[in-house]
Amino acid sequence: MTLKLRYSPTSPYVRKVSVVLLETGQGASVERIGTNPWDPQTNLAENNPLGRVPALVTESGEQIFDSPVICEFLDGLHSGTKLFPDESGERMTALRLQALADGILDAAVSAVIERVRRPEPYRWDGWVDRQMKAINQSIDWLEAHAQWLSQRVDIGTISVGCALGYLDFRFSSEPWREGHEKLSAWYEEFSKRPSMRETVPQD
């Protein structure tokens, strides 16, 4: 099956999909189409009416969005160990981690938009503070539940790894590692995986 992936190289949601592709051995089956979702002339809405990346198009023209759905779709295409566990307890843990990591990314992306893309006279510092509070609370929660991470590889840990990588990428002046030794140690090891090394975002 030949798939087309609309992507932006700095999107953490795209990174999550890219990591899933590599972890499941499907990287070569995807045609990547670079897309700037901020370009007013983009035709991205033809593949995702939300106008966001990632968007996946199957060989038959079926449109799949956004990253959680794309990742689960891709996980159904390979015969190896599933990244969305079948066992109910493991699955719920993985989905909860994915939801929290995606929430971190939502808050982080919102803060970046407020700081960088919104014209300076209209920026709302209170909004950024609210997003950073959500991020910090979530990092505290992950530290307290670090035993959920161990060195397993599933959609939950992949999502957390991509979220922490995005914080390093966009918020390097506001390091999250201090006071989060267990989470930091886990991420240091997880980020050594080839799928993580090959997908580090580049400006």
Task: Decide: residue 190, CB within 10 A, 0-12 exposed, 13-18 middle, 19+ buried.
Answer: buried
Beta bridge partners of 30: 3
pLDDT for the residue numbered 151: 72
pLDDT for the residue numbered 45: 94
Q: pLDDT for 26-67, tens place per residue? A: 999 999 999 999 999 999 999 999 999 999 999 999 999 999
Q: pLDDT for 160-189, tens place per residue? A: 999 999 999 999 988 999 999 999 999 999
User: What is the average pLDDT value for the chain, to the nearest integer?
Assistant: 94
Between CA 48 and CA 42 the distance in angstroms is 11
Confidence of residue 120 (pLDDT cuts 50, 70, 90): confident
pLDDT for the residue numbered 53: 97
pTM recorded for the entire structure: 0.94
pLDDT at position 1 over 70? no
- Give all domains of the chain, ordered by start, each with its CATH number: 3-75 (3.40.30.10), 88-197 (1.20.1050.10)
DSSP assigned state of 42: -
pLDDT at position 126 over 90? no
pLDDT for the residue numbered 123: 74
